[in-house]
Amino acid sequence: MDCELFRERLGADPASLDEAGIAHEHSCAACAAYANRLRAAEALVADALRFDVARVRSTAAATEHSVAWGDRRPWYAAAAAAAVAAVAVWVGVTFLPSNDPNQLALAIQDHWHHEPAAWVRTEVAVSPAALVAALGGQASVDLERLSVVSYARSCLVNGRWVPHLVVQGEAGPIMVLLLPRENLSAPLPLELPEDGLRGELLPLESGSVAILGDADESFETVRRAVTDAITWTT
């Protein structure tokens, strides 16, 4: 099971996964984190929706004199509505696309921590079928312009499913995210100094490309190779 199918099934019913889904969640740190966030959001919504009835019944049972339902409903309804609204905002920030370039840069840097298995030195290239599946018809890649592409997945970044590639550089593996619908006006730096990483978020025609790798990498060479190799197809 791939990440996209897992998250589609999880979204349909976060409380129920088949064996393949459970196995994928155990093996994929990014999807496990996604599942935890989604289940937490669902639990908050469920609590907010049942808050009104449960609290009113408890209060009514403890009250000796009669109080009309209509007198209590506005307070409890407002509290429940506020809780649901807060959850909606949290889910929106977590899962929905943002047009803020700085938010995009933060999402890219955070994504580096989600798939540690991709960060290995290797001369083994990903299969052509896996690369095509990861690109998802959003872009084409001229492999002759790149070094070894050792990893290819479709990943959720900043609320959108995008191709996530790892290219082998001179100093180590390099994360390359293809962002066909993220239109930037200027480059933005990417920095994870505690991990010894740096990179750039670069405009590329109607979209953009994120490059993140070892701080000792020759990024001028990587930037030229990546931007020359990518063509948007959407």
Report the C-alpha gap between 5 and 177 in whole angstroms. 20
In contact, 121 and 168? CB cutoff 8 Å: yes
Q: Are residues 179 and 119 in the same domain?
A: yes
**Domain coverage including residue 204:** 101-232
Q: Render pLDDT for 65-93 as a digit per residue (tens, 0 to 9).
A: 444 444 445 555 555 555 555 555 445 54
Q: Which residue has the higher pLDDT, 43 or 229?
A: 229
Q: Are residues 105 and 203 in the same domain?
A: yes
Q: Please say which residue of 58, 76, 95 terminates a domain.
A: 95
Q: Please say which residue of 95, 120, 145 terminates a domain.
A: 95
CATH number for position 147: 3.40.1000
* pLDDT at 64 (0 to 100): 47
Is the predicted pLDDT of residue 51 greater than 70, yes or no? no
Is the predicted pLDDT of residue 175 greater than 60, yes or no? yes
Q: Are residues 110 and 36 in the same domain?
A: no
pTM: 0.62
Q: Are residues 117 and 220 in the same domain?
A: yes
Q: Are residues 8 and 88 in the same domain?
A: yes
Q: Are residues 136 and 222 in the same domain?
A: yes
Number of domains within the chain: 2
Report the C-alpha gap between 166 and 153 in whole angstroms. 9
Q: Render pLDDT for 190-233 as a digit per residue (tens, 0 to 9).
A: 999 988 999 999 999 989 999 999 999 988 899 999 999 999 99
Q: pLDDT over 90 for what percent of the chain?
A: 40
Segment 138-145 mean pLDDT? 94
In contact, 213 and 171? CB cutoff 8 Å: yes
Q: Please say which residue of 53, 69, 95 terminates a domain.
A: 95
Q: Spell out the residues 6+ positions from residue 86 whose beta carbon is closer than 8 angstroms to its own.
A: 44
